[in-house]
Structures are given as C-alpha cells and as structure tokens.
Amino acid sequence: MIFYFAVLTALPRVSLESGPINGWLHVSNKGISMPRIFISDGFYQWITVVAVGCLAAFFIRKQRIKKHDLTGENTHAVYWAFFTVCTFALIGLFIHPVFGFVGGIFSALATLFENIPTTLIKVLLSSILIFFAARWIRNFFASRRSATGHLSLIDDDIFRMIFVGAGALIAIIVVVAWTGISSWILNSGRDLFHMLEAKFEVDGAARPFDAMKPDIVKPGKFANYGTNGLTMGPGFAAVFFGVVFYTSAFVAEIIRGGILAVPKGQIEAANAVGLSRGQSLRHIVLPQAIRIILPPMGNQYLNLTKNTSLAIAVGYSDIVQVGQTVYNQTGKSLPVMAIWMLFYLTCSLTISVIVNFYNVRMKIVER
C-alpha cells in the first residue's frame, strides 16, 4: 500500500514521450508497460527439437556418470546434459520446420480415436483396474511373508485386501455401466490430437517466439497504453513488487541461515581434500543446508499465497475483491466464502505436498 501511494501514484502522467526508454519501457501513474515475448506458430515444432535434445542429454549424462564410476574422473555429467539441451534448443530455432510431419502422426491418432469402439475402452479400463488391484494384493502378500515363507495375516490385513478388491469391482461396474466415461475419453483424445495436428500444420517460416514492443495511443485528449506489449496496471504493479520485495527478504534470510547452519568443520574438511569453493558449496554445503531451508521455505510460500489477498488494499480485483462484489450484489456470502476456503486450501495443500515430497527425499537416512 505504501509502495502504491508513495511511488506509483507519484509518477508522471502517461504521454506520447513517456520513458524512461520511449518505445521500450514506459513508467507512469498508469502502470508499467514493457516488451512482451510470447510463443508463436512454430513453438510446437521447436519444443519437439528440445524434447529430442532432452532425450539425448539423458543418454549423454548416463554415459558420463558411467565413465566417472569407472575412472573416477570428474566428467561434469550435469554440465554436459545442460549444454546438450541448450545446443538442441539453439539449433531448433533454425531447423524446427522439419518436424512439421509430426502433425500427420497426430492426425492419424485422431482418426484412430474416432474409429475405436467404446466397448474396447471399457475392456481396457477394466483390465487396467484388475491388473493394479491384483498387483497390489500380490505385493501386499509378499510384504506379509517372512523370510522362511510363512504368511501371517491379521484381521486388518484381510479387510484391506477386501477393500481393494471391492473398490476395483465397483470401479469396473461403473466403467462398464456408464458409457459416458469411455465416450469422454475417446472424444477428449480425438479433440486433443486434432488440436496438436493444427499446431504443427503451420507455415514453414513460422518462428517459435515473437515479441511486441509497447505502444502508447492517444485517441482523444488523454494518452494511454495500447494493446501491444506487457502492461501492468498500478494495482497489479503495487501487489507484484510489494509481495516480491517482502517475500524475497524472508527467502534470502532463510537461505542465509540455512547455509550458516552447516558446521564450519564441513567446509574445512572440503578445503582439506582439495575441493574448490564452488565444489564445496555444491557438494558439501548446499545438500546439508537444503534440509534446513526446506521447512521454513515451505511456510514462506504458503504465506506468499495468502498475502496476495492484500491486493484489495490497492484496488486490484483478485479473488477476494471479486467475491466481495458478488456477495454484496447477491447476498450469497456462504458460497463465496466456501469458494475462498476451497481455493486457498487447495493452494496450501498443493504447496505442502510438493515441499514435503522434497523434504522426505532430502532427509538423512540412518542405518
């Protein structure tokens, strides 16, 4: 709010000569306008080249790691993989039209989905459900079998197997009886492949990316930003920069504290074995610091999601302000608050799952 009233509203009015870099960057009390980069018609051919590069990088990294294991030489596997992807991405800017034939493949797949009967989809889905249920029960039996082959089951184990089997049976009945599921899969697959076919059937000279410079128009007495370029209104700019500055200060302190929490002896040991400062940071310090950084970093991202609701203080229309407008006009406050709760709960749980996943992956495994 202070940033909004002290900085943005104090900026000069927009005019045809607005700067600081006229034609490239415009800053005024109407907000900020800058060049906009966006994907163009040739993007999908280019991303196909990048996908091929990722596949090549995977095998190159695998070979470099194998060489490192055999010789002990520092083969820089990650760097090789990264530069491989970058090379393919750079080359793809010039050769991406050769992948226009992929559109024909998607066209054939769309035709295939049009001719598949719904009965086949029902049989396929039922087979998948039976396979996964049987696999789970088999693995469950294996986990309850002792080293001598003795199988020991308690009542809870039997109920769990019955629950999995009954759940699979109910799902099969729903799939077979409800034809709409199979039809939806076929129609969605057909539409998806038709869409991808259209993305690849473009002019061979199409570029993967394009850009637009910001413009200023003056249809009457007052100038304003045009439709070209990337424009941030004063409300959005205030929220964006306010949240970025506020959150980045906490994130920087969390990372600093995590790095300083690593015992000094670890760094001294790395220096003793001849590791450079960068190698010591990458191989010794950061792997230990991340275990300390992740929990407070997750909390900070949760706070970031909720702090965006403060946009209402500067008049920016986010989900909170739109909800207030809805229940002021309709009087239905309970559904609006339920939508708020569901939205923020979904965001919080999603961030928590991601952070906890990496937290479990990074934890110390003891003997």
Per-residue pLDDT, 9 = 61
- pLDDT at residue 4, as a whole number: 59
- How many CB atoms are located within 10 Å of the residue 197 CB? 19
Q: What is the pLDDT along the chain (367 residues), one digit of tens a residue?
A: 565 555 656 666 777 676 677 778 877 777 788 888 888 888 888 888 999 999 999 999 999 888 888 887 878 888 899 999 999 999 888 887 888 788 888 888 888 888 888 888 888 989 998 999 888 888 888 877 776 667 677 777 788 888 888 888 898 888 888 888 888 888 888 888 888 888 887 766 678 888 888 877 777 777 777 778 888 777 777 788 888 888 899 999 999 998 888 888 888 888 888 888 888 888 888 888 888 888 888 888 888 888 777 776 666 677 777 888 888 888 888 888 888 888 888 888 888 888 888 877 777 665 5
Give the amino acid at 143: S
DSSP code for 18: -
Is residue 6 exposed (0-12), middle (13-18) or buried (19+ Cβ within 10 Å)? exposed
Q: What's the pLDDT score for residue 367?
A: 54
pLDDT at 231: 81
3-state secondary structure of 151: strand
Query: Where do we find the tokens 């998607």?
Result: 106
Considering the domain 233-362 in this protein, what is its CATH number?
1.10.3720.10
**d(Cα 351, Cα 348) in Å, to the nearest integer?**
5
pLDDT, residue 301, reads 87
Question: Residue 193: how many CA atoms within 13 Å on its side-chain side?
Answer: 17
Residue 25 host element (H or E): strand 25-28
* CA torsion angle 256 258 264 270 (round to 10): -100
- Domain layout of the chain by residue ranges: 117-200, 233-362
Residue with tokens 């407008």: 325
Query: What pLDDT score does 53 carry?
Result: 92
Give strand pairing partners of 103.
Answer: none
Cross-strand pairs, 216: 225
